[in-house]
A and B are shown apart, each in its own frame.
Chain A
Amino acid sequence: MEANAFDAGMSRLKKRFVQTHYERHDRLEDLAVTLQQPNPPASAAQEVESILHKIAGTAGSVGFKELGEAAQQVEVFIRDHAASNQAAIVKVLDAFLDVSLEFCDPIEKLMPQSAGDGFSAMAGTTH
């Protein structure tokens, strides 16, 4: 009974993560465009790093280990090269967005169609 409650709680969190990830992915797409402009604001790279940091810290705990590892690699790269290599940052961010898209697509198929249904389908989803 207790294990069931835990599984249900984790599944709920997994669903929350997926919903948030769609928003984060869209924001990273916008920031990738910003970073390709001449003289982008420093805050753009900082925001990318912050979003990736959050993905890196949580994805693995809800079953999306590869997504989290990819986010961490790009986050560390940006932290180490933020001031010096804008073009490389855009490149690695694009690479991450490709990885992220692969996660978004199958996740989307499993998303509940309305607020009250379909959640049990998420319970066993891991990547």
Chain B
Amino acid sequence: MRILAVDDDPFILELLKEIIGHIGDHTLETAESGPEALAMMREANRFDCVLLDFQMPVMNGVEVCRALRTLDGYDQTPVVMLTAMSEKRYIDAAFLAGATDYINKPFEISDLRVRLGVIGSLVDARRDNGMTFSATPSGHRTSTDNAPLALHKPFEIRDIDGVVDVVALENYVSKLSRSRLFGSSVFAISIRRIEQLFMQVTPFDFQCMIVDVAEALSDTLGERNFIAAYAGSGSFVCVVEGAKIYNYPEFTDSLNLAIQRLEMHSSDGTRLRLRVSTGQASRIMWQSGTTALDLLSHAVNSAEQEAVRAEKQLDDFWYAGATA
């Protein structure tokens, strides 16, 4: 990979040159400030990955991350925060600004090797799939690629507060778990009758519908600290600060109301009526990386089961009414 490392400490840059030269088939260029890095990125779309320090004069890492996301060719470039800042508020700010991963200094060489390997695979996959972003009628962006859209396949949603891609969310949850930052819980919401909706509309309409639900989710979670991602199959997984402090039925009602107010339509003018269900929340505890990710799967499974249960209950209600 072609990597750009940005850090105001020349020693770190030298250390990275030594280590990255040793751990893989990567080339490294360096910048000592955010403005210098952004100027290098504006020159040409030549970096596959950006390593960003957090605390820097003039522009901090979060500001650089936000700025580089607006540059041509860098809307999907993996950004890894490489920082000594270990408090949760910095981790949250980094992922919300568009970071893909977060590594604390001092870093272990083996850890850096593994993370860069994973990032390299992501870069290759996105390049092979020809991933690009398309604007939706609501003014947001969603990723599209060469492969046909499958219901289970997650895609990226941009420009909605608190909504990140699912790879970043997985890294975020792993980071909280590894760092023993246990103040958050994970839950998911799932769109009911999603298979039927998927069959009913074009792939792009389906993506626009999901983006609209993301917007309603973001508005409903409002001022609460949260990070959410689309996980595929009409489900969003959300990490919120605090453990089980939500009134989930009330939250679900508010979200469904927000969705109704959007008055979604497909491009042929058909009104799209959809409702969501919320699954059970789990608190983030210390777990190995893999087990931490199981939390996300459990959250999604719980929401999908609740969606099926709610639809069945509705069917039973109508059936009972029809036979009464």
Contacts and interface: CB of A to CB of B under 8 A. Distances in A.
Real binding pair: yes
Given A17-B11, A20-B11, A58-B9, A6 B105 contact: no
Contact of A58 (B11, B55, B87, B109): B11
A57 B83 contact: yes
A13 B17 CA distance: 11
A20 B11 CA distance: 10
Nearest to A79: B87
A62 B11 CA distance: 11
B318 interface: no
Per DSSP, are chain A's interface residues mostly helix, strand or loop, or mixed? helix
Interface residues on B, range: 10 to 19
A62 B55 CA distance: 21
Interface in A6-36: 6, 9-10, 13, 16-17, 20
Nearest to A2: B22
Contacts of B11: 13, 16-17, 20, 54, 58
B106 A60 contact: yes
A85 B12 CA distance: 31
B84 A75 contact: yes
B106 A57 contact: yes
Contacts of B109: 61
A53 B55 contact: yes
Interface of B: 9, 11-12, 14-15, 18, 22, 53, 55, 83-84, 86-87, 105-107, 109
The 5 closest A-B pairs by CB, nearest first: A60-B106, A57-B105, A57-B84, A61-B106, A9-B18
